[in-house]
């Protein structure tokens, strides 16, 4: 299906607006679609309508996006204060830009479509839900597809070739220098490094910190170096993990920028985390991950490479979850055992060791030396 008149046969648009006012993981999942748009329309001025934090995203992905306009928020959009107070002035500013095309890449339809249609663009495109009447430029929400592929479907509907669904996170020289300084300061040993990231924006998406601590101890006892990461806002969560651990670990909470964290992930042998933004960073950096997915729709958000990335989840009837805090005892999280996570992590590490035997030899030698000097922690 091709959406007319913005298809490839028509003159390419000069001014494009993309509405996607979401967080890091959501934005990374849209990179394949953004990449396809830029390849098709290299001279277009592409404006992201997003959240304030996305200034950093636009700076990093400046080859794909030209500028950020901050969405002021609206009722029904919980990522910001839910008020329509700023919409009239915002809509006037959008109409003054005289966009050729406005793309609704925020979600399945409904209020997001109404917002995009207020931009006053010559053409609009996006998604509609099954109960909504089809309208020109909007395709049915592909509910059975993973998140990156949903937006590629929209791009293809514009008449653009779009099949590369790999994520991407470009590193700058500053990011690499930040990592090198971090490595020197903390004694990071990349050949045996495991990143454990216990935070997530919503409590309903978090596996218990005490269980992350047990996993970290079990992996440390086998010779792996553990780094606990998180934002400064997640300090209470990471402190709970570190406080429950018996083994030593690198405390890197709040110590990195996003780029520095990505560089760290890129050097690690494994990431153990919740189903949150760092899971998509690991996918973009091609670093294996063990993801404990609590509450989320794994069909939509799981990494596409099921060999490199393993998602562990339980599926009670209340899933997928729409709650910030689980009111049902958090069975989806508690039914994923420490033993299952450790077993999965070790399988992934073993698979990578077979692919990189030299690094595995270094790890074995260091673990043997450590065994001669220290008692190993019980798992």
Note whether 145 and 209 are same-domain residues: no
Note whether 22 and 150 are same-domain residues: yes
Torsions phi, psi of 17, nearest 5? -110, 135
Which tens digit of pLDDT belongs to each residue from 250-260? 999 999 999 99
0.85 exceeded by the pTM? yes
Tokens of 101: 């095309």
CATH number for position 204: 3.40.50.2000
Note whether 187 and 231 are same-domain residues: yes
For residue 329, the model assigns a pLDDT of 93
Tokens of 105: 């890449």
Tokens of 22: 């979401």
Note whether 50 and 131 are same-domain residues: yes
Q: How many CB atoms lie within 10 A of CB 54?
A: 24
Note whether 61 and 177 are same-domain residues: no
Q: How many CB atoms lie within 10 A of CB 304?
A: 16
Give how many domains the chain has, as a whole number.
2
266: which strand partners?
none
Domain membership of residue 254 (yes or no) is yes
**Length of the chain as a residue count:** 379
Domain membership of residue 242 (yes or no) is yes
Domain boundary among 117, 132, 157: 157
The residue segments making up the domain with residue 139 are 15-157
For residue 369, the model assigns a pLDDT of 41
Which tens digit of pLDDT belongs to each residue from 129-161? 989 988 889 999 999 999 999 999 999 999 999
Domain membership of residue 182 (yes or no) is yes
Note whether 202 and 342 are same-domain residues: yes
Domain membership of residue 89 (yes or no) is yes
For residue 322, the model assigns a pLDDT of 86
Note whether 213 and 268 are same-domain residues: yes
* Separation CA 73–CA 63 (nearest Å): 27
Tokens of 158: 């514009």
Which tens digit of pLDDT belongs to each residue from 66-120? 999 999 999 999 999 999 999 999 999 999 999 999 999 999 999 999 999 999 9
- Residue 374 reports pLDDT greater than 90: no
Tokens of 246: 């018996």
Note whether 300 and 151 are same-domain residues: no
- Residue 376 reports pLDDT greater than 90: no
Note whether 88 and 131 are same-domain residues: yes
- Residue 228 reports pLDDT greater than 80: yes
8 Å CB contact between 253 and 232:
yes
Domain membership of residue 234 (yes or no) is yes
In sequence order, which ranges of 3-126 are alpha helices (DSSP H)?
24-29, 31-40, 54-60, 87-96, 111-117
Q: What is the DSSP letter of 200?
A: -
Domain boundary among 129, 157, 185: 157
Domain membership of residue 50 (yes or no) is yes
Domain membership of residue 3 (yes or no) is no
Domain membership of residue 163 (yes or no) is no
Note whether 140 and 216 are same-domain residues: no
For residue 335, the model assigns a pLDDT of 96
Which tens digit of pLDDT belongs to each residue from 165-212? 999 999 999 999 999 999 999 999 999 999 999 999 999 999 999 999
Domain boundary among 104, 123, 157: 157
CA atoms within 13 A on the CB side of 104: 26
Note whether 152 and 181 are same-domain residues: no
Note whether 218 and 354 are same-domain residues: yes
Helix (H, G, I), strand (E, B) or coil at 190: helix
- Residue 350 reports pLDDT greater than 70: yes
């Amino acid at each position: 299906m091709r959406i007319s008149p913005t298809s490839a046969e028509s003159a390419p648009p000069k001014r494009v607006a993309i509405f996607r006012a979401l967080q890091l993981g959501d934005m990374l999942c849209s990179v394949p679609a953004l990449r396809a748009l830029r390849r098709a329309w290299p001279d277009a001025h592409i404006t992201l309508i997003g959240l304030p934090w996305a200034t950093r995203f636009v700076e990093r992905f400046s080859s794909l996006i030209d500028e950020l306009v901050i969405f002021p928020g609206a009722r029904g959009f919980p990522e910001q204060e839910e008020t329509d107070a700023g919409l009239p002035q915002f809509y006037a500013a959008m109409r003054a830009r005289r966009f050729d095309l406005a793309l609704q890449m925020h979600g399945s339809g409904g209020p997001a479509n109404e917002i995009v249609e207020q931009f006053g663009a010559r053409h609009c495109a996006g998604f509609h839900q099954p109960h909504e009447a089809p309208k020109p430029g909007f395709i049915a929400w592909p509910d059975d597809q993973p998140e990156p592929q949903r937006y590629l479907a929209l791009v293809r509907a514009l008449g653009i070739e779009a099949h590369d669904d790999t994520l991407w996170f470009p590193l700058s020289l500053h990011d690499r220098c930040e990592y090198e300084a971090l490595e020197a300061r903390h004694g990071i040993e990349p050949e045996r490094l495991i990143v454990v990231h216990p935070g997530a924006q919503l409590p309903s998406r978090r596996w218990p910190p005490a269980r992350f601590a047990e996993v970290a101890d079990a992996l440390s006892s086998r010779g792996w170096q553990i780094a606990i990461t998180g934002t400064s806002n997640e300090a209470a969560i990471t402190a709970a993990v570190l406080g429950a651990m018996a083994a030593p670990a690198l405390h890197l909470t709040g110590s990195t920028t996003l780029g520095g964290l990505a560089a760290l992930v890129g050097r690690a042998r494994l990431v153990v985390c919740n189903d949150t933004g760092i899971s998509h960073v690991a996918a973009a950096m091609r670093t294996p991950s063990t993801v404990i997915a609590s509450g989320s729709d794994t069909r939509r958000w799981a990494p596409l490479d099921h060999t490199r990335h393993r998602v562990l989840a339980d599926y009670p009837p209340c899933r997928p979850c729409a709650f910030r805090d689980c009111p049902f005892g958090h069975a989806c999280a508690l039914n994923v055992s420490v033993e299952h996570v450790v077993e999965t992590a070790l399988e992934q590490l073993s698979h990578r060791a077979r692919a990189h035997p030299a690094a595995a030899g270094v790890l074995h030698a260091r673990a043997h030396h450590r065994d001669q000097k220290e008692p190993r922690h019980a798992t």
